[in-house]
């Protein structure tokens, strides 16, 4: 979008927050860059230039505005709807691949040479992979400076800097303040327990929380996840050790608290929280597209800003999807909880009901099939998935190629279209996944007059919802009264066309 100067100028002059993260405005007279919604008086058009990323603006010599804090905007939704190499690279960079494996590791995951990756990323984003990772380190440093009392040397190394000198220079270059001055100016110091980092996760409004947090709470796996006192809490397996993440919905942001073994895992943990809650989505664009369908328009108008609940780990979500084939949400939780209790990694210090990390595929390779209280076909599907994931035959990482992953999954025994699309929607975060065989989708579609005796009529009509069919699924599910559609403690809204006892997230058998 940054190449469309007229459109960018209109967004800046209107202070339109919908475009925060889509592009950044740099002012040549002040050498400052801002988000489009910056509250200060808009500069003259001839003084404005536009960049596709904060890293590009920083590389061009601009520093971040102290009023609008452009480094803390929601991420660009462009990467959510694309599966090309640049989008995959951005998802991997956000997940910390460069800090862990370098640019060579990023290139290897994408199947390109280092030179090719640097060329295609720079051509589209105005900055190379290292500059993008540096911008992320600067953001991490700011969060640690403003939300913790850690000594600055500890902040520097936790944020990924090689030395205190480079940390000081980068902070001064990006924010035009020293680290000490940045901490002194901090306005919002969240009250958190010792050893916990508290921060606000930015998002685009409207933001509907009911189905998002309701789904996470209703499907929470005991030992790994819980809903407590208005917070969704779960354990995370990170490079530096176990972590506990707590998320609570607010009107214009999500409150986040992270208890980390290693503070260097902060950017990865934040990215996984954002991915789980679909916070980088563009709800206005999604609602406009879905609302153009007269059949779906009333549902969209009644509940704007729906998000798709994703996952913090693709392998985990894939296993949970297979365990959930043709059973209720409650039964799926029970099956999964047994695997967690028997094979998950126990926490050294359990936190309430959070006692384990979810087991990896490698942890489960030696599971005794006889201990799986499942039908034979599903038992074979579980074991086949675990073997394929452990051997690298299925890629479910943030940088996975969506089409290739679908083909890899479909080739496994016992994994049909419903499971493939459910994994694509939740594990891969594909915005256009569509489990047409889902019972809740079929029932809701029938109530709207969209479904015939088979899937064909529904599939044909759903084509008008592309590329946002995953969001259409959320609207269809929400016509039911299942607990996934509401925050715990809220009364359901009854739809007389839907059986209130039916589980909407079950495969049609």
Task: Tell me how far CA of residue 328 lies from CA of 325, 348, 358, 492, 502, in angstroms.
Answer: 8, 32, 21, 19, 9
Query: Worst-scoring range by mean pLDDT, 64-78, 275-289, 470-484?
Result: 64-78
* Amino acid 352: pLDDT: 87
* Amino acid 245: pLDDT: 98
Q: Are residues 486 and 460 in the same domain?
A: yes
* Amino acid 190: pLDDT: 59
pLDDT over 90 (residue 397): yes
**SS3 assignment, position 450:** coil
Residue 429 lies in a domain: yes
Average pLDDT of span 123-151: 90
CATH number of the domain bearing residue 231? 3.30.310.20
pLDDT over 80 (residue 502): no
The whole-angstrom separation of Cα 39 and Cα 161 is 32
Q: Are residues 424 and 492 in the same domain?
A: yes
Q: Give catalytic status of residue 68 as yes or no.
A: no
**What does the DSSP assignment read for 110-157?**
HTS-HHHHHHHHHHHHSS-HHHHHHHHHHHHHHHHHHH----HHHHHH
Q: Are residues 382 and 501 in the same domain?
A: yes
Catalytic residue among 8, 34, 38, 256: 34
* Amino acid 72: pLDDT: 81
pLDDT over 80 (residue 406): yes
Q: Are residues 265 and 293 in the same domain?
A: no
Residue 264 lies in a domain: yes
Residue 348 lies in a domain: yes
pTM score of the predicted model: 0.88
Q: Which residue from 454, 458, 425 is spatially nearest to 444, judged by alpha carbons?
A: 458
Q: Which of the two residues, 268 and 82, has the higher pLDDT score?
A: 268
Q: How confident is the model at residue 194 (pLDDT cuts 50, 70, 90)?
A: low
pLDDT over 90 (residue 355): yes
Residue 190 lies in a domain: no
Q: How confident is the model at residue 165 (pLDDT cuts 50, 70, 90)?
A: very high
Q: Are residues 442 and 428 in the same domain?
A: yes
Provide the domain limits for residue 305.
281-509
Last residue of a domain, one of 185, 218, 247: 185
The whole-angstrom separation of Cα 338 and Cα 239 is 25
Residue 191 lies in a domain: no
pLDDT over 50 (residue 495): no
pLDDT over 70 (residue 14): yes
Residue 432 lies in a domain: yes
* Amino acid 358: pLDDT: 98
pLDDT in tens, 27-77: 999 999 999 999 999 999 999 999 999 999 999 999 999 889 898 888 888
Q: How confident is the model at residue 81 (pLDDT cuts 50, 70, 90)?
A: confident
Last residue of a domain, one of 258, 280, 302: 280
Q: What's the structural domain count of the chain?
A: 4
Q: How confident is the model at residue 147 (pLDDT cuts 50, 70, 90)?
A: confident
* Amino acid 13: pLDDT: 92
Q: Which residue from 354, 300, 278, 363 is spatially nearest to 74, judged by alpha carbons?
A: 278
Q: Are residues 354 and 421 in the same domain?
A: yes
Query: Worst-scoring range by mean pLDDT, 77-91, 151-165, 328-342, 372-386?
Result: 77-91
Tokens of 19: 């475009």
Q: Are residues 404 and 270 in the same domain?
A: no
Average pLDDT of span 217-228: 96
Residue 422 lies in a domain: yes
Q: How confident is the model at residue 268 (pLDDT cuts 50, 70, 90)?
A: very high
Residue 14 lies in a domain: yes
Q: To the nearest whole number, what is the mean pLDDT of the chain?
A: 90
* Amino acid 451: pLDDT: 67
Q: Are residues 458 and 421 in the same domain?
A: yes
Average pLDDT of span 264-287: 94
> Exposed e or buried b for every residue in 100-131, given b needs 16+ CB within 10 A?
eeebeebbebbebeeeebbebbbebbbbbbbb
Q: Are residues 166 and 200 in the same domain?
A: no
| Residue entry with tokens 């030992």 | 223
* Amino acid 494: pLDDT: 41
The whole-angstrom separation of Cα 497 and Cα 376 is 35
**What does the DSSP assignment read for 297-352?**
HHHHHHSTT------S-HHHHHHHHHHTTTS-HHHHHHHHHHHHHHHSEEEEEEET
Catalytic residue among 20, 287, 432, 438: 438
Q: Are residues 155 and 270 in the same domain?
A: no
pLDDT over 70 (residue 497): no
Last residue of a domain, one of 45, 70, 95: 70
Q: Are residues 302 and 431 in the same domain?
A: yes
* Amino acid 485: pLDDT: 87
pLDDT in tens, 94-131: 898 998 899 999 999 999 999 999 999 999 889 999 99
pLDDT over 60 (residue 482): yes
Query: Worst-scoring range by mean pLDDT, 294-303, 317-326, 368-377, 489-498?
Result: 489-498
Q: Give catalytic status of residue 313 as yes or no.
A: no
Q: Are residues 60 and 83 in the same domain?
A: no
**Under 8 Å CB-to-CB from 132, ≥6 apart: which residues?**
53, 55, 90, 93, 98, 121, 125
CATH number of the domain bearing residue 352? 1.10.340.30
**SS3 assignment, position 432:** coil
Residues 304, 208: contact at Cβ < 8 Å?
A: yes
Average pLDDT of span 7-18: 91
CATH number of the domain bearing residue 175? 1.10.10.60
């Amino acid at each position: 979008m940054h190449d469309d100067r007229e459109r960018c100028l209109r967004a800046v002059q209107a202070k339109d927050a919908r475009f925060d993260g889509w592009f950044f405005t740099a002012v040549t007279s002040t050498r400052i860059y801002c988000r489009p919604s910056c509250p200060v008086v808009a500069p003259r058009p001839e003084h404005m230039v536009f960049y596709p990323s904060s890293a590009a603006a920083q590389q061009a010599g601009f520093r971040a505005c102290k009023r609008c804090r452009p480094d803390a905007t929601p991420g660009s939704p462009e990467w959510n709807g694309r599966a090309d190499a640049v989008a995959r690279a951005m998802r991997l960079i956000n997940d910390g691949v460069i800090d862990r494996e370098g640019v060579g590791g990023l290139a290897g995951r994408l199947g390109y040479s280092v030179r090719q990756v640097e060329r295609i990323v720079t051509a589209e984003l105005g900055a190379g992979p290292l500059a993008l990772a540096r911008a992320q380190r600067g953001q991490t440093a700011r969060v640690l400076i403003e939300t913790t009392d850690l000594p600055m040397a500890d902040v520097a190394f936790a944020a990924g800097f090689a030395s205190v000198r480079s940390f000081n220079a980068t902070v001064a270059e990006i924010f035009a303040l020293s680290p000490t001055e940045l901490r002194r100016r901090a306005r919002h110091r969240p009250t958190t327990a010792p050893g916990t980092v508290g921060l606000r996760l930015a998002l685009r409004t409207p933001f509907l929380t009911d189905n998002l947090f309701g789904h996470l709470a209703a499907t929470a796996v005991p030992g790994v996840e819980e809903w407590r006192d208005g917070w969704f809490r779960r354990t995370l397996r990170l490079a530096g050790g176990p972590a506990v993440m707590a998320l609570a919905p607010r009107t214009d942001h999500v409150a986040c608290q992270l208890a980390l073994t290693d503070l260097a895992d902060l950017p990865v943990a934040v990215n996984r929280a954002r991915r789980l809650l679909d916070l980088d989505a563009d709800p206005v664009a999604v609602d406009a597209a879905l609302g153009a369908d007269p059949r779906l328009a009333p549902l969209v108008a009644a509940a704007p800003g729906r998000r798709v609940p994703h996952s913090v780990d693709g392998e985990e979500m894939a296993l949970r999807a297979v365990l959930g084939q043709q059973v209720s949400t409650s039964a799926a939780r029970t099956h999964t909880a047994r695997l967690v209790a028997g094979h998950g990694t126990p926490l050294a210090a359990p936190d309430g009901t959070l006692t384990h990390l979810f087991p990896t595929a490698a942890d489960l390779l030696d599971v005794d099939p006889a201990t799986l209280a499942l039908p034979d076909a599903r038992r074979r599907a579980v074991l086949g998935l675990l073997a394929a994931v452990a051997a690298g035959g299925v890629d479910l990482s943030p940088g996975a190629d969506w089409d290739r992953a679908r083909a890899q999954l479909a080739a496994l025994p016992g994994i049909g279209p419903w499971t493939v699309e459910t994994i694509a929607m939740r594990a891969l975060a594909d915005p256009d996944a569509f489990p047409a065989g889902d019972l809740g989708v079929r029932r809701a579609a029938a109530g709207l007059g969209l479904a015939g005796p088979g899937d064909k009529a529904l599939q044909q009509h759903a084509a008008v919802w592309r590329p946002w069919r995953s969001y259409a699924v959320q609207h269809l599910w929400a016509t039911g009264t299942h607990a996934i559609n509401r925050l715990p403690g809220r009364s359901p809204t009854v739809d007389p066309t839907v059986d209130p006892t039916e589980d909407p997230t079950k495969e049609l058998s």
